[in-house]
Amino acid sequence: MAFRTLTTADRGAVRTITVNRPDKLNALNRETIGELTLAFRQAAQDDGVRVVVLSGAGEKAFVAGADISEMTAWTPVQAQAASHAGQTLMLTVERLGKPVIARIHGYALGGGMELAMACHLRVASEKARFGQPEIGLGLIPGFGGTQRLTRLTGRGAALELCLLGQQIDAARAERLGLVTRVVAADELDATVDAMADQLAAAAPLALKGILDAVIEGGECAIDQGLAFETQGFAIAFSTEDMREGTSAFLERRKASFKGA
Ligand code: CO8
């Protein structure tokens, strides 16, 4: 299906989804949120896709937030519906069952930072800027920022970023644990591609087991979290990929994983 506010492209088993509203710094309006949710659901259902890369079009921004121009006349009920739609998108990304890499070359602000935080890995150019500037609009984050930022960086940094609303650079974001890796701008694509290729060649059911155990298990008491881990570990033993991976190690050859 053709999207109006996104582009998608496949490179082998790597699907890149690009928010394509560069004139508005890829701000997330209702249409974009709906299209992103659909695009991620399609990626989840397509067995040919093993990894998703999420990017923003244009020179300046990954995503500069929710679209402020849409918000001005909202009633609280409309705001609640918009927040819920955005949170549904973020959960769709987070629970995709396949790794999602955010490729962040510029601004990741407000809803854009929330979207990046829903991804599993965040690779940033040293030129990227991060922030939760909602306080300056008389708002609070509405797409999960208060929750995911706290989980990623701890309460102290989450409160600092949300209360003061200031932008931080990529180096500080890395120190806070907000991004996985920071690279020079001209190394961003090669770094993302290499990471995506590594994940695309890995055993998909084992990747899913790790995602489930870390994300779902991380929300529970440790006994339940450990049960998630045991379940994923046991399921791996029902796969051909586990036999292939262990045999390849013993035979000193490169494993070839099929997703079965
Ligand atoms: N929404 C709508 N339009 C935007 C947004 C945005 N978030 N960000 C940029 N744009 C538009 C600008 O209005 C401008 O459009 P136009 O050319 O038609 O006037 C165009 O993009 C280019 O932007 P600038 O001219 O401002 O570019 P600069 O390089 O001067 O500045 C900044 C770049 C610093 C990124 C600046 O654009 C900015 O501060 N943007 C807003 C950042 C922001 O506050 N983001 C948070 C929004 S609120 C939010 O995300 C809440 C999420 C949860 C909501 C839950 C309910 C939906």
pLDDT tens-digit map of 145-199: 999 999 999 999 999 999 999 999 999 999 999 999 999 999 999 999 999 999 9
87 has a pLDDT exceeding 90: yes
114, 126, 174, 229: the active-site residue: 114
33 has a pLDDT exceeding 80: yes
60 has a pLDDT exceeding 80: yes
35, 94, 126, 134: the active-site residue: 134
Distance of CA 181 to the CA centre of its chain: 14
If you measure from the C-alpha of residue 75 to the centroid of ligand 1, how many angstroms do you get, rounded to a whole number? 21
Ligand 1 contact, 28 CB (< 6 A): no
Give this prediction's pTM: 0.97
pLDDT grade for 249, boundaries at 50, 70 and 90? very high
Catalytic residue at 114? yes
Q: Which of 5, 25, 89 to mutate to test the pocket of ligand 1 (most atoms within 8 A of CB)?
A: 25
Q: Which of 26, 63, 68 to mutate to test the pocket of ligand 1 (most atoms within 8 A of CB)?
A: 68
CB 63 within 8 A of CB 19: yes
Ligand 1 contact, 131 CB (< 6 A): no
Task: Give the contacts of 109 (CB within 8 A, at least 6 positions apart).
Answer: 61, 63, 64, 65, 129, 130, 131, 132, 133, 167
139 has a pLDDT exceeding 80: yes
Rounded mean pLDDT of the chain? 97
Q: What is the pLDDT of residues 228-241, one digit of tens each?
A: 999 999 999 999 99
Q: Quick one: pLDDT at residue 22?
A: 98
